[in-house]
Structure 1
Amino acid sequence: MTRRCFAFIGPSLAAGDRPELPGVAYRPPARHGDLFGLDLRRGDSVLIVDGLYQHVAPLRHKEILAALAGGVRIYGAASYGALRSAELADHGMVGVGRVAAGYRCGELTSDADVAVLHSDDEACRPFTIALVSLRTAARALAEVGRIDHAAADGVIAIGSALHYTERAPQALRAWAADANVGEAMDATLAELMAGRDIKRQDALEGLRRLGRGAGGTDALSATRWDSSFGAETAFEHAPVAASRVTGRRLLACLQVFASDYPERHRAYVYRMARASASGPGAGPVLASAGFDVPAVAAGRYAGRTRATEHWSREERVLVRTFRLPPGRCVYKNLPPEALGGRSLAEVLKYSADLMPPYPVERRLTGAALARLWGATTDEELLLSALERGFRDLNEAVAVGRTLDLSLDTSR
């Protein structure tokens, strides 16, 4: 199987400066879910240089740990990746370059040292200067005598006093002129504009290391880390039996179209809940989990729907609120209860036409799901989605967008 290489790079290395490396696919700055979205395989390699974190969920530690546990080499350099590599060095993430070393030894301690403001387009043009870049360039000029050490300290002090969103070259020059270190600031910025930027240099070194690591020279992590997001992603991509249908897609088809799926989901919930709670019935299960059964049953999750009129209030609450530890996933695999007593081959045959290989024009909207499930109000639609094992209505609608409304739904 071909090993793949990915590099998440943004403002630290301009697009025109990124070398064309065989087998390396460039990606924009990393955010939460990006590693899971790559469907990484053992032997793949990833370089993380830049990452987003202020206005979107950042790339979390557990996502990196899950990739490491799956036999993926993860490198971090220059910026966000350097910070993460220092935090996860003991778990197998490899730091590359001087910025990563600075975080590892404690010389750098804040994400603000590498942060920059940049454009929100594909180019990711930087508008401000990273403090680590300013500091390193000023000190290097002082070491060779091009500026004196006091002026270098003044340049660094100005950069440190400004928020990363305010550290634009024009602002730095204005502050430096007021502090009588204008020439030193000009020389420092000229160094950075000429490409002698520590973040740029480390990003290039990271790319060189990525190419070498793809050949297998770096040891893989032997630690196993699991997370809800990792389990969901594995379920999303793993095919069942010898088919090309994934377990998650087959489950989604059954959740949407099987008229008796609430009963199947209830059986699954009871089996999973009883594994961690003693006593028969929903009441003891809820009580052992810390629920006040009467209070919860009177809340929003106890209402009747067409499929659950014969259920007790406690059963409705349990089935609709069930989650697997640590609390996000409802399913991590395709359970036997979902098959409704049929063999996997029979279910695959039944479901084949319901699951086209690509999204079709006629899709199941929220209104279509309401008609399919007999929900007459928004509240009933939500409850119907929950009792079919969807985490929420948004998940049900997202699944519905990939399934064909025109097909037979009677089975």
Structure 2
Amino acid sequence: MTAHVFCGPTLSPDQVLAAFPAAVPHPPIRHGDSLRLDVGPGDQVLIIDGVFHQAASVRHKEILALMAVGATVAGCSSMGALRAAELNVYGMIGVGEVYRKYKEGLLDADADVAVTHTQGPEVEQLTAAMVDLESHLLDAHLAGAVDGAERAAIAAVLREVHYTERSPQRLATLEAPGIAGFRSWLAEHPDLRGAKHRDALTALRLLAEGAFQPTDPGAWVEQDWRTGHLAEWIDRHAGAVQGTRRISSLAQRQYQQIFDPDYPQRWRDRVLAWIAGEPSADGCTASQLLESAKRAAADSGLRVQDLTTEQRRRWLTAAEDATLDAGEALGRLLVRSAGSGATPPGRDRPAPPPDAATVESVARAYSVNDRAAALGVDVHRLEFGAVRRYLMQLWRLGESTTEECDAAARDRGFRGFDGAVEVCRQFILAELGEDLWRHLA
């Protein structure tokens, strides 16, 4: 079992490890971070802090994806409290005062827990969260530093300040009945920790004690909750690790789309199996898949003979339109119109395991790109025509027309040849060899 903790600035990694030495601390969670975790039944994920302003925040379905594979997910204090209140009915566990207030509707704004902080390994908080200020106000009221009316007036003034400006310097300039007494009380309690910190320590204690028992996420797991967006996020963020690099599933497939001569047939089989409603292409011949896909298309009212010339020529070359029989023409039309390989058909099926040779090739390409960048060669600024000529030569397209090049790219899951050229950029330097590209520096 592994316990992952996303933290900072509410708790630092050192504070997390002091409370629970077996934990694996991570920086504040952002979009994609949870998808890079290798988790399963028995693993636990505690979300304390997360980003939402400077980067995309963790999506709800990213968290559902963790729970769907059997991981236990809990949240508290900040981003964790927000997501736990929103996903509690799906099985996410919420801890603490801040979570309770969101769940009961006493809080409803992200800004109530938001703060600004520094970037880097040591996250330093620069502003105060509204939930912490209100927690301090309550303590000051209980200590007699402010009365009830003053507490309410100060809270109202603080709420008018944007979360990015709730710094000690700005707070020193605010005017409200009783605020001088509140400032004096804060000065006498400089090490006081607010609600977020208390909740985080509580959650860590419960995590260390094994109090977070796996929850049955319920019937939603069996429903059609996965989307193309989630498939694309997993594609971009999950993957294999090679040395210090993470090689995404997307990068692995893109490399195969460009360089694997057998990829067009595999892509065709996968698309036709998906259209035919087959669980996979295994055990079916190419002709069987085509016949099954043709029947499924006909059941949906699609027959190639019913299409206009313009519709056929959108996906078939002039030569194909003139010479292919109706069955094969329909097969190619179905495959080429299936869309980009970025969200492949059958997205709910398990992805194939990483191919070691592909992972190594992509990692090598990225390393070459790094060396080239140090010499002033940016793969994104390579001449488009040069990359295009390389790809035409690689795919043996000779003097093919634009529509023939597009057809070849669509047979590999691209939307068109220009898109394939753009993907090829990230791999081309490693394939050319260092002697050939160094003169570009």
Secondary structure class of the residue paired with 1:360:
helix
Structure 2 counterpart of 1:119 = 118
Structure 2 counterpart of 1:26 = 25
8 Å CA contact retained: 1:11, 1:118: yes
Give me the TM-score of the superposition, normalised by structure 2: 0.68
8 Å CA contact retained: 2:7, 2:47: yes
- 1:360 maps to a residue whose letter is R
The 5 A counterparts of 1:8-157 are 8-15=6-13, 17-20=15-18, 21-157=20-156
8 Å CA contact retained: 1:297, 1:313: no
Structure 2 counterpart of 1:272 = 274
Q: Deviations over 1:90-117 (max 9, x none)?
A: 2221111111111122221221211112
The 5 A counterparts of 1:282-361 are 297=311, 302=315, 304=317, 318-322=334-338, 328-330=343-345, 332=347, 356=360, 359-360=363-364
- 1:221 maps to a residue whose letter is D
The 5 A counterparts of 1:371-390 are 371-374=393-396, 384-389=408-413
8 Å CA contact retained: 2:50, 2:57: yes
Q: Which deviates further from its counterpart, 220-229 or 122-131?
A: 220-229
Q: How far has the Cα of 1:22 moved from its partner?
A: 2.4
Q: How far has the Cα of 1:257 moved from its partner?
A: 3.0
The 5 A counterparts of 1:390-401 are 393=419, 397=423, 401=427
Tell me the distance in 2 between the aligned counterparts of 1:57 and 1:303: 40
Q: How far has the Cα of 1:370 moved from its partner?
A: 5.0
Q: How far has the Cα of 1:195 moved from its partner?
A: 3.0
Q: 1:37 to 1:147 in 2, by over 3 A?
A: same
Q: Deviations over 1:44-66 (max 9, x none)?
A: 11110111122422211111112
RMSD of Structure 2 on Structure 1 (CA): 4.7
Q: How far has the Cα of 1:266 moved from its partner?
A: 2.8
Secondary structure class of the residue paired with 1:88:
helix
Tell me the distance in 2 between the aligned counterparts of 1:202 and 1:87: 17
8 Å CA contact retained: 1:151, 1:184: no
| Structure with greater helix percent | 2
Q: Deviations over 1:17-71 (max 9, x none)?
A: 4443322111111112211101212111111011112242221111111211211
Tell me the distance in 2 between the aligned counterparts of 1:57 and 1:379: 38
Matched residues, percent identical? 30
- 1:359 maps to a residue whose letter is A
Structure 1 counterpart of 2:288 = none
Q: Which deviates further from its counterpart, 197-206 or 302-311?
A: 302-311
- 1:319 maps to a residue whose letter is V
> Which among 206, 215, 219 is matched to residue 214 of structure 2?
219
8 Å CA contact retained: 1:172, 1:185: no
8 Å CA contact retained: 1:99, 1:202: yes
Q: Which deviates further from its counterpart, 313-322 or 101-110?
A: 313-322
Structure 1 counterpart of 2:431 = 405
Structure 2 counterpart of 1:206 = 203
Secondary structure class of the residue paired with 1:6:
strand
> Which among 178, 181, 187 is matched to residue 178 of structure 2?
181
Tell me the distance in 2 between the aligned counterparts of 1:359 and 1:275: 35
Secondary structure class of the residue paired with 2:121:
coil
Q: Which deviates further from its counterpart, 165-174 or 118-127?
A: 118-127
Give me the TM-score of the superposition, normalised by structure 1: 0.73
Tell me the distance in 1 between the aligned counterparts of 2:105 and 2:359: 53
8 Å CA contact retained: 1:116, 1:129: yes
Q: Deviations over 1:119-166 (max 9, x none)?
A: 233333222211111112102211231222222112201111122112
Aligned residues between the structures: 378
Structure 2 counterpart of 1:6 = 4
Structure 1 counterpart of 2:287 = none
Q: How far has the Cα of 1:297 moved from its partner?
A: 4.0
- 2:259 maps to a residue whose letter is F
Secondary structure class of the residue paired with 1:280:
helix
- 2:268 maps to a residue whose letter is R
Q: Which deviates further from its counterpart, 275-284 or 76-85?
A: 275-284
Tell me the distance in 2 between the aligned counterparts of 1:45 and 1:286: 45
Tell me the distance in 2 between the aligned counterparts of 1:44 and 1:369: 44
Q: How far has the Cα of 1:15 moved from its partner?
A: 4.9
Q: Give the unaligned 5+ runs of structure 2.
A: 241-247, 279-290, 370-378, 434-441
Which structure's relative contact order is higher, taking Cα pairs within 8 Å and 6+ residues apart? 1
8 Å CA contact retained: 2:252, 2:358: no
